[in-house]
Structure 1
Amino acid sequence: MTNILHSPFCNASLLAGLLFLFMGFMIRKFPPRSMKTWYGYRTFSSTINQQTWDEGNQYAAYVSRIMAYFLVPFGLICGFVFSTQSDVFMYVTISPVIFCALLLTGLTEWHLLQVFDEDGERRKGSV
């Protein structure tokens, strides 16, 4: 068990990528029906009303899957390139995870601002 945990294939990019992939497919397959559920994309913009909640979760699940398609191969490549878990290895594998998490939130919030106004009403011309 210790060999697996200390292997370069046990890295933040690979594990977070698998988590993003799982989250994206689960929210797509089983979307949270109400804002009272224990899971879902929960921010001020997404909890204005049911429409913003549904749109925010649908878009966050989509972006999450896209991020996973980047993180998983990156984590595998890092597993092959590095022979041990060094400090540089940690920085190289954790940095994309932080970037993707921030990008997921930023893109979803931007999308919600493009589709809805500040009162949660759908903007004219948005689908």
Structure 2
Amino acid sequence: MITSFVHSTYCNAALFGGLLFVIMGYLIARFPPKSVNAWYGYRSFLSTRNQEMWEAANKDAALVSKKVGFVLMLIGICCALIFERQSDWFMYITVGTLVAGVLYIVGDTEWMLSNEFDEEGKRRVPPKL
């Protein structure tokens, strides 16, 4: 039974990665990391400059992660219904969309940080409510 699921098209990277992104986004939004030294959270050079940037980065990354996760799950389900077996193209599409999703989350969050904060880590524009 487990073997048949592992070899089915419903066992794909886009579906599992999307589910992981939705769970991760929900948990970070629900339980935001308190400080830069927390063991979880969105961690990059820009996000760890100060506490305000850390909070903004984690809030944005959680929101974008949930959105990307739902899109990835939809793509994973569509691929599972379209393909009859786990072919090369099936793998290219499901893994490629997962990699693109990760790059989008990082790119969007870094773009937001570089637009909203100046070189010293001070907010340029008032926060969006």
Band of TM-score, shorter chain: over 0.9
Deviation per CA, 1:81-120: give whole Å up to 9, x if none.
1111111110011111111110110110000011111111
Counterpart residue number, 2:126: 126
- What SS does the aligned partner of 2:65 have? helix
| Matching residue's letter, 2:25 | G
Amino-acid identity (%) = 45
Partner of 2:95: 94
Q: Give the Å deviation of 1:55.
A: 0.2
Structure 1 stretches of at least 4 aligned residues deviating more than 2 Å after TM superposition:
none
**1:75 alignment partner in structure 2:** 76
Give 1:4-83 correspondences, 5 Å limit. Answer: 4-83=5-84
Taking structure 1 as the reference length, the TM-score comes to 0.96
Instruction: Note the alpha carbon deviations across 1:39-88, whole angstroms, 9 max, x for none.
Output: 10000000000000000000000000110121111100111111111111
Aligned CA RMSD, in angstroms, stands at 0.8
* 2:19 and 2:70 in contact (8 A); partners too: no
The offset of 1:4, in angstroms, is 1.0
2:88 is matched by which residue type in structure 1? D
Write the distance in 1 (CA, Å) between the matches of 2:119 and 2:27.
Answer: 29
TM-score (norm 2): 0.95
Unaligned stretches of 5+ in structure 1? none
Q: How does 1:112-123 map to 2 (within 5 A)?
A: 112-123=113-124
Aligned residue number for residue 106 of structure 2: 105
The runs of 5 or more residues in structure 2 that have no matched partner are none
1:2 maps to a residue whose letter is T
Shift of 1:126: 3.1
Query: For 2:122 and 2:93, how far apart are their aligned partners in 1?
Result: 42
Partner of 2:85: 84
